[in-house]
């Protein structure tokens, strides 16, 4: 099978398409024939060497939508099931950007029935990151939340999920994204570079760090969407970062919200797997609204 990997660090040209043996599922695992999977900033970071692993073959891709192709012992899935899954980790030789991928059965959820596989392939990583970040904030209905990077993938999901919980959301993004951010459920909008009102909490999807921390009231909460990117706590503000984890049950809840029309999936464009380097280059340029998706 074909897979996108890096063997040396660098720019988009470091992405290689290689032929490797298809993986076999073990105990409580399933193999998925990949139909689609989004390219995310974490893939660009891995390609550039942020996570280390020099001299190794590292697989790219965390998001997968496709069909169960083979089932290991004690895995409660059937061949032919349409599924989505998060393929966690940044150090393995194979990722989700491949023709087949093996994942633990409890990382898998039924794919949303109301969208195609390209859209479904944008859900796992960013949807779970947003949901798990909101859990860390521990907000109640009526509390106020600022989401930075609200027009992006994680930020957009966070706005929708928080608004659904009855949280009063202010979205921060480029001035031209106000209509989009409000359509996702934000009650208020603040353009980049404009200081918003004080809020109970910030979900920092734009990685602003300390400047965004200043917008949290004393004793509030701050969560970064990237591990290690949270600032030190001040004024009694609790600061954390979300370390996204695979969770099939939670992913199933998100898929159900998609089918209810309560969670929108945005695709900015598609690329065949063979052109993965082009997708990396386009994402690196910035300004992408929605996800770029690879289709094997």
Judged on CB neighbours under 10 Å (0-12, 13-18, 19+), 212 is buried
DSSP 104-134: EGGGEEEPPTTS-HHHHTTSHHHHHHHHHHH
Instruction: Report the pLDDT value the prediction gives residue 91, as an integer from 0 to 100.
Output: 75
Q: What is the DSSP letter of 294?
A: E
Torsion from C-alpha of 14, 17, 21, 22, nearest 10 degrees: 110
Instruction: Report the pLDDT value the prediction gives residue 294, as an integer from 0 to 100.
Output: 98
* Helix/strand/coil for 286: coil
CB-based contact 37:98 (threshold 8 Å): no
* Unique residue bearing structure tokens 């192709």: 69
Q: What is the DSSP letter of 274?
A: G
CB-based contact 273:75 (threshold 8 Å): no
What domains can be seen in the chain, in order of their start residue?
2-123+265-295 (3.90.180.10), 126-241 (3.40.50.720)
- Please state the pTM of the whole predicted model: 0.96
Distance from the first to the final alpha carbon of the chain:
10
Instruction: Report the pLDDT value the prediction gives residue 18, as an integer from 0 to 100.
Output: 98
Instruction: Report the pLDDT value the prediction gives residue 90, as an integer from 0 to 100.
Output: 74
Q: CA 17, CA 22: separation in Å to the nearest integer?
A: 14
The crossing angle, in degrees rounded to 10, of helices 124-137 and 153-164 is 50
Per-residue pLDDT of the chain (296 residues; tens, 9 = 90+): 999 999 999 999 999 999 999 999 999 999 999 999 999 999 999 999 999 888 899 999 999 999 999 999 988 999 999 999 999 877 789 999 999 999 999 999 999 999 999 999 999 999 999 999 999 999 999 999 999 999 999 999 999 999 999 999 999 999 999 999 999 999 999 999 898 999 999 999 999 999 999 999 999 999 999 998 899 999 999 999 999 999 999 999 999 999 999 999 999 999 999 999 999 999 999 889 999 999 99
Q: CA 283, CA 44: separation in Å to the nearest integer?
A: 8
For CA atoms 148, 165, 138, 199, give the dihedral sign: positive
Instruction: Report the pLDDT value the prediction gives residue 88, as an integer from 0 to 100.
Output: 85
Instruction: Report the pLDDT value the prediction gives residue 253, as an integer from 0 to 100.
Output: 98
Backbone angles phi, psi at 181, to 5 degrees: -65, -40
Instruction: Report the pLDDT value the prediction gives residue 119, as an integer from 0 to 100.
Output: 98
Q: CA 128, CA 273: separation in Å to the nearest integer?
A: 24
């Amino acid at each position: 099978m074909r897979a996108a990997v890096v063997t040396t660090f660098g720019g988009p040209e470091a992405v290689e398409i290689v032929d490797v043996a298809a993986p076999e599922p073990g105990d409580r695992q399933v193999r998925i024939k990949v139909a689609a999977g989004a390219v995310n900033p974490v893939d660009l970071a891995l390609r550039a060497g942020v996570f280390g692993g020099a001299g190794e073959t590292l697989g790219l891709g965390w998001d997968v939508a496709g069909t169960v192709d083979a089932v290991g012992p004690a895995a409660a899935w059937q061949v032919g099931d349409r599924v989505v899954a998060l393929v966690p980790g940044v150090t393995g030789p194979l990722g989700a950007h491949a023709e087949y991928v093996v994942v633990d059965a409890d990382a898998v959820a039924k794919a949303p029935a109301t969208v195609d596989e390209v859209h479904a392939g944008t859900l796992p990583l960013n949807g779970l990151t947003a949901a798990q970040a909101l859990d860390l904030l521990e907000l109640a209905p009526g509390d106020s939340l600022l989401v930075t990077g609200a027009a992006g993938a994680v930020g957009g999901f966070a706005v929708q999920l928080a608004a659904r919980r009855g949280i009063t959301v202010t979205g921060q993004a480029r001035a031209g994204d106000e209509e989009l951010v409000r359509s996702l459920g934000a009650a208020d909008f603040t353009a980049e570079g404009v200081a918003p009102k004080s809020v109970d909490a910030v979900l920092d999807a734009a990685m602003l760090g300390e400047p965004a921390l200043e917008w949290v009231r004393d004793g509030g909460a701050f969560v970064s969407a990237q591990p290690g990117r949270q600032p030190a706590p001040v004024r009694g503000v609790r600061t954390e970062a979300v370390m996204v984890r695979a969770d099939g049950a939670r992913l199933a809840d998100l898929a159900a919200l998609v089918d209810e029309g309560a969670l929108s999936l945005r695709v900015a464009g598609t690329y065949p797997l063979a052109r993965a380097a082009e997708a990396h280059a386009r994402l690196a340029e910035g300004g992408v609204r929605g996800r770029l998706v690879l289709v094997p």
